[in-house]
Structure 1
Amino acid sequence: MAEVATSTTSEQLLVVVDPVARRSDGESVRIAKDVLGAGAAMKLCLPDGPEEFARALARRGARRPVVVGDDRALLRAVSVLHRQRELAACGLSLVPVGGALSLARSLGVPTGTVAAARAVLDGVERRMDLMVDDSDGVVLGALRIPPLSHPPGGEGVREPVADAEDAAGRPWLRTCQSLVRTLVPASRPSRPVSPPEPGPSRLRVEVDGETLVDLNQPVEAVSVAPSASGVASVEVRPVSVGAEASPLLAEGRTVTVSGAHFRYRADTQVSGPVRTRTWVVREGAWSLTVPAGA
């Protein structure tokens, strides 16, 4: 991990450049480094992987960490500080670089490199809520549980398997098989298999201990996101029969989803399958630098 220190003003920054950002857009990384270095004392860290990324944050001292990277890099930094139990006391800054920037945009961070770097220098810290699940994972934006996927006919397509044991015990058989493959033209390619069709999920969704939807009501999707009031907003879309069914809405600090094995997408990551998961809102659990007046 390379580290370079520069000094211009009394403010101390730890600029951690995600390796994906360096590979995908080195020019934007250079611009961010130049703008930040011109406005503050800066220690530049170029980690080669997640372990060095975490080590750089752990050794930040009194410096304010600035992540240069995409949504995944921001989520990685928040997760590391959360596991170190230092998230509440450590203000983060972000200069978005990369292709996945929707989370950064939704949090109020400019996606232009120069504007984002200037916001790091001149912006203000905004306290934000997040959700923590029972496996100690964090969610900054929203999570969504999509419909289940069922293979056509209820079973997967099986690939033909060669009789390896017969061939291994009979060397002459392997020779004949090789000769046949050489002389006989290749068979026609099989028809492509259609992707699995999504099907409804049967889940129990509880908000602060109250059941919003139970297993007897199939649902199309479930979405959960922290709101501005220290609670999570929950939306469940039941399967419609005929006329479109109205979504079921609720708010609460604790959300538990259980039932059949399900996967969920939280921010940039897909997790699961799990049979149950609980998310708890942590009010004002972290802070992010945003432009003044935003």
Structure 2
Amino acid sequence: MAEVATFAMSDQLLVVIDPIARRTDGESVRIAKDVLSAGAATKVCLPEDPDEFARALAKRGSRRPVVVGDDGALTRAVALLHRQRQLAECVLSVVPVGGALSLAGSLGVPTGAVAAARAVLDGVERRLDLLVDDSDGVVLGGLRIPPIRDPAVPPAGASAVGPGAGRPWLRTCQSLVRTLVPATRGTAMPGAAGHSRLRVEVDGATLVDLDQPVQAVSVTPGASGVAEVEVRPLSVGAEATPLRAEGRTVTVSGAHFRYRADTAVSGPVRRRTWTVGEGALRLVLPER
């Protein structure tokens, strides 16, 4: 993460205000507009839908874009700029407004409207790593692959009513079959909270293979162009020690799995590779 430049007060800003921010916290939006307008020449855009949001960013010209919105608006802006192949040439600013602001905060953006707007005017550009997957998706804060639950095992506290209800002999047979038949890959064993059978490779080296059930996998952009990978093996008793590795590429494959990347859930997929984009996000943050 490197500091690149400070910004002149004469900079022209394109302030794109997400509609969700306008509906959920109009007062913070007004404060942000006032602070930005007092310190720079601003053009304010009020898109009503994702298409208008995309057009506003695409037509920014020489103006520096400022996104006023929550984590969803931030990730949408970065994804759009990446797909337009304009991320490398765009210095992005964010004023977090809305309900979900944890991602922006984790990147170093102040979560108060006044402090964030002042950082837009007086901050410095810093280059942050992100992850780019093989379907052209981007990940800013990290991704997580949760366990897959066996549909035959109801969640804790759920009713067990279903096929066989009221027929004890059938429930007994079903229980016996589940005991004798090995668990299918990608599903939880009866009685387990859930697990996945996945192969996780970091820079081509296998960190965990299909023969080792895992409870969760997480991948986050680290520092200096590497991703930090953590795999939590399935434990039967004492908690298993997490497996950790660092690398520039991470590939997960095996049974169909879903994953949460920043604010969105994707999948199911059978294979996905993430590559570190070193310094790919140019974000304005407060001076240290």
TM-score bracket for this pair, using the shorter chain length: 0.7 to 0.9
Deviation digits for residues 212-255 of structure 1 (CA, Å, limit 9, x no counterpart)? 00000000100000101210000000011232211111000000
Is 1:45 aligned to residue 45 of structure 2? Answer: yes
Contact conserved, 1:235 with 1:250, CA < 8 A, in 2?
A: yes
CA-atom RMSD, angstroms?
A: 1.7
Query: What's the secondary structure of 2:149's corresponding residue?
Result: strand
CA distance in 2, matches of 1:103, 1:45: 23
CA distance in 2, matches of 1:242, 1:114: 50
Partner of 2:199: 204
Structure 1 stretch displaced more, 237-246 or 101-110? 237-246
Q: CA deviation at 1:94?
A: 0.3
C-alpha change, 1:241 and 1:198, in structure 2 (3 Å) is closer
Partner of 1:100: 100
Is 1:111 aligned to residue 111 of structure 2? Answer: yes
Where does 1:112-261 land on structure 2 (aligned, <5 Å)? Answer: 112-153=112-153, 157=162, 198-261=193-256
Partner of 2:157: none
CA distance in 1, matches of 2:99, 2:239: 35
Q: CA deviation at 1:149?
A: 1.8
Q: Which amino acid aligns with 1:228?
A: A
CA distance in 2, matches of 1:63, 1:153: 55
Percent identity (aligned):
76
Q: Which amino acid aligns with 1:104?
A: A
Q: Which amino acid aligns with 1:77?
A: A
Unaligned runs of 5+ in 1: 1-8, 159-195
Q: Which amino acid aligns with 2:255?
A: A
Q: CA deviation at 1:291?
A: 0.5
Partner of 2:167: none
Query: What's the secondary structure of 2:77's corresponding residue?
Result: helix
C-alpha change, 1:287 and 1:101, in structure 2 (3 Å) is same
Q: CA deviation at 1:288?
A: 0.7
CA distance in 2, matches of 1:237, 1:207: 15
Q: Which amino acid aligns with 1:81?
A: L
CA distance in 2, matches of 1:210, 1:106: 29
Partner of 1:290: 285
Contact conserved, 1:71 with 1:268, CA < 8 A, in 2?
A: yes
C-alpha change, 1:153 and 1:30, in structure 2 (3 Å) is closer
C-alpha change, 1:91 and 1:157, in structure 2 (3 Å) is farther
Contact conserved, 1:152 with 1:197, CA < 8 A, in 2?
A: no
Deviation digits for residues 99-126 of structure 1 (CA, Å, limit 9, x no counterpart)? 1000000000000100000000000011
Q: CA deviation at 1:10?
A: 2.7
The TM-score normalised by the length of structure 1 is 0.82
CA distance in 1, matches of 2:85, 2:227: 22
Moved over 6 A (4+): none
CA distance in 2, matches of 1:23, 1:157: 43
The TM-score normalised by the length of structure 2 is 0.83
